[in-house]
A and B are shown apart, each in its own frame.
Chain A
Amino acid sequence: MVRYIIRRLLLLPLVILGVTFLLFFLTQRLSPEMRASLYVKDPRQMGALEEVIRQYGLRDNVFKQYGRWLGQVVRGDLGYSPSANMPVAKAIKEYLPATVQLALVTMILVVLFGVWFGVFSAVHKDKWPDTIARFVSVGGFSLPIFVLGLLLLMLFYGKLGWFAPGGYSFQTDLIVHGPSFKMYTGFLLIDALLNGNMRVFMDVLSHLVLPAVTLCIGSFALMVRVMRSSMLEELGKDYVRTARAKGLAEWQVVYKHAGKNAIIPVITLASIQFIRLLGGTVIVETIFDYPGIGRFGVMAAQQLDIAGILGFSLMVAVLFVVGNLVSDILYTAVDPRIRLD
């Protein structure tokens, strides 16, 4: 186990180097002028690209350039992103908390409702709640999130006017970037609470509802499915029959006995899904114009902002690889029957 973790930790930087080199290699298809944005530190330099190209040897071979880029990254300099109009490192620092916040809220929704719905359908096996649950668990996989997102926008923004796109309203923007609001963590929900500003908190939360509901659909479908089958398996075991024979109330049997054991696979699944949500945020944030890292990545990709694309991919790769390792370890910690090697 320890050897496995050490091996994975040693491989981790190699994998990330591999991804970034692959993408860096792809950028070589583009003109030196486009690639120059990687080395620009100040928007004023954008006017004198030829100088930047000469200074950083953008016509050198790939390996030399990659080494130079890596040297910069180690020093925390990811270049200047024209699409976000700021240095990439600053953009990541600004946008990442919003995405993590969105993913966390989504995960809470998924676990709460997924577990409840899964248990509900297992207890009423082959009756109508179960039929609905099975339909949801297949349908949720098949419904593209951009279709669901646009339909929700039509209904709740266009028709009912309950929720609006974006990360927060104009008034909140003024408060948050005003002098009296202190940024402690970068997570607006937490900062609003720390500042004791409930209006900002509610506003940010209401802007999270539609993106979170849209984002949760795929994971929710999976969660219901896993919880249902796990619950059915536990309900068929002997200790459940014993509990019933003892004369325990049905809710005690379901929630206190079977439920406790059935939830184990769900916990590990949740940790894996949390990382998987990163892919979905790209689309959800674009639809709802939510100021997170996914929207930043899409805009960089659409505008061929090389510095933005490379910085975004590097960050996603680091998050994804580390997250996968953590969830693998969690997996063994929760369920000792699984052995990694």
Chain B
Amino acid sequence: MFKNRIFKRIYTNKTSLAGFMLVAFFALVALFAPWLAPVHNSNNPYQMPQRSYEIAPQPPSGQNWFGTTEQQYDLYYGVVWGARLAFEIGVTVTFFAFLIGLCVGTIAAYFGGKIDELLMRLTDIVFAVPSLVLAMVIAAMLGPDIKNMMIALTAVAWPSYARLIRGDILSVKRRDYVTAARTLGARGPRILLRHILPNSIYPSVVVASLDIGYVVLTAASLSFLGLGAQPGTADWGQLIAMARNWVLGTSQNPLAYWYTVAIPGGAIFLFVLGWNLLGDAFRDILDPRQV
């Protein structure tokens, strides 16, 4: 019933359909990256091919459809494999953050009392600094690379899921059917796993999966600041970081290097836009009271 409502909603609403199509498009690009842009370094497919060591970016041409960045990294390759990397980062971070949040939230709600208090204060600690700033500091101290960036993003993302799941479980815990199960003699862990979790987890799963766009945006910000993917990696944020030196253009044409920002920037924008449009539709379904 829940599933049917979602699909019906997506098909009937123009904006959510657009969102769905954008996300699906990027998913296809990510999936078929090896065919769209053949790997040239089989040890690390995310390493962009470098045409030469010339410094200035080159405009789109027959050889480089989207042009090249500074030091002649192929933008087309970067954007295509960047889509794959975006999904990899988004899905991995969201999955682990959700898993940690699920464990912490469940433990807090189930045991209550001092353990609950302690775990919730732990989430307060993470919430005490804006997530981008905290992720930036953690990534810097772990050392800038993609793996450490994902650890940093997971570290700042889990508390919101922990709180969400804790709240959901607490509200389900008092329902009649839980009391009924208890009177019938079911014990704690069984009630938790068979009765409470299945009834409280789905909305959180949907909310979490829709955060993928936001995670990718934060990851791109970190890479842009030089605290994530390193130069030469097919990462959208990193591609834009390489464009920073070229905002001025040439004296004849001040906008000569527009493609270095607009193409990878457009990719991030459309990707996040897709997830946000999809997210709006899902939030309407999950919370029908909101207009």
Taking Cβ atoms with an 8 Å cutoff, the residues of A that contact B are 11, 14-16, 18-19, 22-23, 26-27, 29-30, 138-139, 141-144, 146-147, 150-151, 153-155, 157-159, 229, 232-233, 276, 278-280, 282-283, 286-287, 297-298, 301-302, 304, 309, 312-313, 316-317, 320-321
Tell yes or no: B94 within 8 A of A by CB.
no
Q: Could you list some 27 contacts between A and B, CB below 8 A? A: A14-B121, A15-B125, A23-B137, A26-B141, A29-B141, A144-B224, A144-B272, A146-B221, A146-B240, A147-B261, A147-B268, A150-B243, A150-B244, A150-B261, A150-B265, A155-B255, A157-B248, A158-B249, A159-B249, A279-B133, A282-B225, A283-B225, A297-B136, A298-B136, A309-B140, A309-B141, A320-B129
Q: How far is the CA of A280 from the CA of B15 in the complex (A)?
A: 27
Having A143-B269, A144-B269, A313-B134, one finds 17 other A-B pairs with CB under 8 Å, namely A18-B125, A22-B125, A23-B141, A144-B217, A146-B220, A146-B221, A147-B268, A150-B240, A150-B261, A151-B265, A154-B255, A159-B249, A229-B291, A287-B244, A301-B136, A301-B227, A302-B140
Q: Is the CB of A282 within 8 A of B133?
A: yes
Tell yes or no: B273 within 8 A of A by CB.
yes
Please give the distance in Å from B151's CB to the nearest CB on chain A.
11
Q: Is the CB of A141 within 8 A of B132?
A: no
Q: How far is the CA of A11 from the CA of B138 in the complex (A)?
A: 23
Q: How far is the CA of A118 from the CA of B137 in the complex (A)?
A: 36
Chain A residues near B220 (CB-CB < 8 A) = 144, 146
Please give the distance in Å from A282's CB to the nearest CB on chain B.
6
Chain B residues near A143 (CB-CB < 8 A) = 269, 272
Please give the distance in Å from B264's CB to the nearest CB on chain A.
8
Knowing A143-B269, A158-B255 touch, does A26 contact B138 (C-beta < 8 A)? yes
Tell yes or no: B277 within 8 A of A by CB.
yes
The 10 closest A-B pairs by CB, nearest first: A279-B130, A147-B265, A301-B140, A18-B125, A142-B273, A159-B254, A142-B272, A158-B254, A279-B132, A153-B247
B124 and chain A: residue at smallest CB distance? A15
User: Could you tell me which residues of chain B, from 1 to 42, have a CB within 8 Å of some CB in chain A?
Assistant: 15
Chain B residues near A279 (CB-CB < 8 A) = 130-133
Chain A residues near B269 (CB-CB < 8 A) = 139, 142-144, 147
Q: Is the CB of A154 within 8 A of B247?
A: yes
Knowing A18-B125, A144-B272 touch, does A283 contact B140 (C-beta < 8 A)? no
Tell yes or no: B105 within 8 A of A by CB.
no
Tell yes or no: B276 within 8 A of A by CB.
yes
Tell yes or no: B262 within 8 A of A by CB.
yes
Q: How far is the CA of A286 from the CA of B255 in the complex (A)?
A: 21
Could you tell me how many residues of chain B have their Cβ less than 8 Å away from some Cβ of chain A?
49
Residue in A26, A157, A158 with the greatest tally of chain B CB atoms within 10 Å: A158
Q: Is the CB of A154 within 8 A of B249?
A: yes
Chain A residues near B142 (CB-CB < 8 A) = 26, 29
B136 and chain A: residue at smallest CB distance? A301
Chain A residues near B134 (CB-CB < 8 A) = 313
A23 and chain B: residue at smallest CB distance? B137
Q: Is the CB of A301 within 8 A of B265?
A: no
Chain B residues near A27 (CB-CB < 8 A) = 141
Q: Is the CB of B244 within 8 A of A18?
A: no
Please give the distance in Å from A263's CB to the nearest CB on chain B.
18
Please give the distance in Å from B220's CB to the nearest CB on chain A.
6
Q: Encode B234-248 as 1/0 by CB contact (under 8 A) with A.
A: 000100100110011
Knowing A15-B121, A138-B277, A279-B131 touch, does A30 contact B240 (C-beta < 8 A)? no
B138 and chain A: residue at smallest CB distance? A26
Q: How far is the CA of A159 from the CA of B133 in the complex (A)?
A: 32
Q: How far is the CA of A282 from the CA of B254 in the complex (A)?
A: 27
Chain A residues near B88 (CB-CB < 8 A) = none
Chain A residues near B217 (CB-CB < 8 A) = 142, 144
